[in-house]
Amino acid sequence: MTRFSANLGFLWADLPLPQAIRAAHRAGFDAVECHWPYEVPAADLAAALAETGLPMLGLNTRRGRPGENGLAALPGREAEARAEIGRAIDYAAGIGCGAVHVMAGFAEGQVAERVLLANLDHACRLARPHGITILIEPLNRYDAPGYFLTGSEQAARIIEAAGHDNLRLMFDCYHMQIMEGDITRRLRTHLDILGHVQIASVPDRGPPDHGELDYRHVYAVLEELGWTRPLGAEYRPEGPTGETLGWLSACISG
């Protein structure tokens, strides 16, 4: 049976994060994940997670200055990037979160790649004692023009070059469908480096029950591949989140 994680960066975003965790539990999600929880005391988040029994699968490093989208590939910003990596890992460890998505930022070229690799090496070494996985995620060029990571092969090459077994790929089907398509083959190709899989409809990033991708097929492929971890529902609800969960009810009842 396919299991799902509520991405609280988008779902129940109108609620304080501890309340959003409780809402996700009531709705039937198996896990939660978030973007930037740092304004919430870690103890408050840990209490909500303990109360509901939901695991927190992942969170992001901070984006940086206004208009930025991460720091890890930005030459000259290494100290700042590593400070944010440390902050994210400390927070994740404090709430028992399993992964940190290190955001690369807007950059290009070989120098940026070397900077990213050095920062990922630092992140993986820092995360290892806590049992935390470091994730990198390609983003599509329409939602995030100029973002350093744009494709699965590029991400796979960086993961291989980094040489850490706790560095893995966050495979967002929404971004991958827009940039590359061929989702079934790409999931098969990159299975060994997958750290997390996210879902949303394409092209509108709504609930995963319409659009270009037939997620029933994607779920079947992942089940065939032996993927048992919750899939991250990272979609933008139009209106109250609770009114967009027909897809989840259908999956649970089906």
For residue range 103-141, list pLDDT tens digits in order. Answer: 999 999 999 999 999 999 999 999 999 999 999 999 999
Do residues 62 and 80 touch, judged by C-beta distance below 8 A?
Answer: no
Supply the CATH number for residue 129's domain: 3.20.20.150
Residue-wise pLDDT for 150-165, tens only, equals 999 999 999 999 999 9
Is 0.95 surpassed by the pTM of this model?
Answer: yes
Pick the catalytic residue from 137, 153, 160, 223. Answer: 137
What average pLDDT score do residues 215-220 get? 96
Known active-site residue 137: yes
Q: Which residue has the tokens 């899989």?
A: 197
If you average pLDDT over every residue of the chain, what do you get?
97
CA 200 – CA 211 distance, rounded (Å) = 9
Q: What is the DSSP string of 131-195?
A: TPEEEE----TTTSTTBS---HHHHHHHHHHHT-TTEEEEEEHHHHHHHT--HHHHHHHTGGGEE
For the chain, count helices (H), then strands (E): 9, 8
Domain limits at 41?
A: 4-253
| pLDDT of 254 | 66
Residue 147 phi, psi dihedral angles, 5° rounding: -65, 145
Pick the catalytic residue from 68, 234, 238, 243. Answer: 234
| pLDDT of 252 | 81
Could you give the number of structural domains in the chain?
1
Known active-site residue 234: yes
Is 190's pLDDT higher than 70? yes
Residue-wise pLDDT for 19-44, tens only, equals 999 999 999 999 999 999 999 999 99
Sign of CA dihedral 238, 211, 139, 34: positive
